[in-house]
Amino acid sequence: MKSSRQTTLRSQVTVTGIGVHSGSPVSVTIGPADINSGFVFTRIGADREVQAVAASVIATDFATVLGDHLGPLVSTAEHVLAALRGMGVDNATIEVDGPEVPIMDGSAAPFVDAIDRAGTVQQHAARRFIEVLKPVQVEFGESFGELRPYAAGFRAELEIDFANSPIGRQAYAFDLDADSFRRDISRARTFGCMGDVTKLWSAGYALGASLENSVVFDETRVLNTEGLRYADECVRHKVLDVVGDLALAGLPLIGLYRSVRGGHKLNHAVLTALMADRHAWRVVEATEPVLERPVVARRARGHADVAGGMVAVAFAPDVS
Ligand SMILES: [Zn+2]
């Protein structure tokens, strides 16, 4: 049953694999966290922790890198964040023993499995959301992204267009709930074109990238012998990345995200634009009683704060 209460993991669970950029073995342990703590990354031995919020993003070139004034702490944060947000977890610790989260099979499915193994528990606090109040838009060359008000929950509408590649043009619309995330999105893998991968390799990046953790295309076909998990696996993976990148709002979003030819950089820029405009969003709290679909908020414009099971709250989260 869906809950209007905050949710965390029942126990700790560890996932081990290799880092896609270093090629070295690395483990990530996700576990319970207190109410209102969101997602917090720690690095074993580094004695530092970084809150998974937009202000902690210090690079988005090949993956989402989180850090602070001391520099990067953890790279490739987006897939484990997608799994946590996608599965409806509000609060979790994420502990890594190296510079990046393991890439696993390139999807979020191993992290979803881990969350299933750990189990989830409801906490004694109402779930909080960031509700988008007015549209914000960002354009980078041929890329476009926006967040818009959307009362029924979180929805993503994405379009990608890789001309001169078998990927081609793909579009996907996704309304976020845990069952749909698990079934339709979590298994979609990272993808790339052979030419890009060899360029990354020669620059010293993506040393752990292989057909075990990426879908790779040449000019005419997919090179993985097992083929695709979904005919439109690439755009579904872009949805997965959006769920992970927008988890850096610090709270679940109530809004519609649209992008054309998007990526981590665009997702981060749209989120940053939203956060920068204090009139573009507000924090709302799910109210009791527990609703079957807590994020449904049918609200008349200019009406009082309480409507449809949500209440606006006066305090701001740590999301600047
Ligand atoms: Zn990804």
**Confidence at 318, pLDDT banded by 50, 70, 90:** very low
- Min mean pLDDT across 81-85, 120-124, 168-172, 208-212 is at 208-212
Average pLDDT value over all residues in the chain: 89
Residue 79 bears catalytic tag: no
Cα of 64 vs centre of ligand 1, distance in Å, is: 9
Question: Can you give the pTM of this predicted structure?
Answer: 0.89
pLDDT of 310 reads 61
List, for residues 201-220, the tens digit of each pLDDT value. 888 878 888 899 999 999 89
pLDDT of residue 297: 44
Reported as a pLDDT band with limits 50, 70 and 90, residue 288 is low
78 alpha carbon to ligand 1 midpoint, in Å?
Answer: 7
Of 21, 264, 268, 279, the catalytic one is 264
pLDDT at 255: 98
Query: What pLDDT score does 320 carry?
Result: 36
Structural domains in the chain plus CATH codes: 5-299 (3.30.1700.10)
Distance 237 CA to ligand 1 centre (A): 6
What integer pLDDT is reported at residue 164 of this predicted model?
81
Q: Percent of the chain at pLDDT above 70? A: 89
Residue 246: band (very low, low, confident or very high) from pLDDT cuts 50, 70, 90: very high
CA of 274 to the centre of ligand 1 (A): 22
Residue 295 C-alpha to ligand 1 middle, in angstroms? 26
What's the per-residue H, E or C state across the chain? Answer: CCCCEEEEECCCEEEEEECCCCCCEEEEEEECCCCCCCEEEEECCCCCEEECCHHHEEECCCCCEEEECCEEEEECCHHHHHHHHHCCCCEEEEEECCCECCCCCCCCHHHHHHHHHHCEEEEEEECEEEEECCCEEEEECCEEEEEECCCCCEEEEEEEEECCCCCEEEEEEEECCHHHHHHHHCCCCCEEEHHHHHHHHHCCCCCCCCCCCCEEECCCCECCCCCCCCCCHHHHHHHHHHHHHHHHHCCCEEEEEEEECCCHHHHHHHHHHHHHCCCCEEEEEECCCCCCCCCCCCCCCCCCCEECCEEECCCCCCCC
pLDDT category of residue 231 using cuts at 50, 70 and 90 = very high
- Judged against a pLDDT cut of 60, whether residue 301 lies above it is answered with no
What pLDDT was estimated at residue 201? 81
Averaged pLDDT, 1-5? 70
Reported as a pLDDT band with limits 50, 70 and 90, residue 287 is confident
pLDDT at 65: 93
Cα(186) to ligand 1 centroid in Å equals: 10
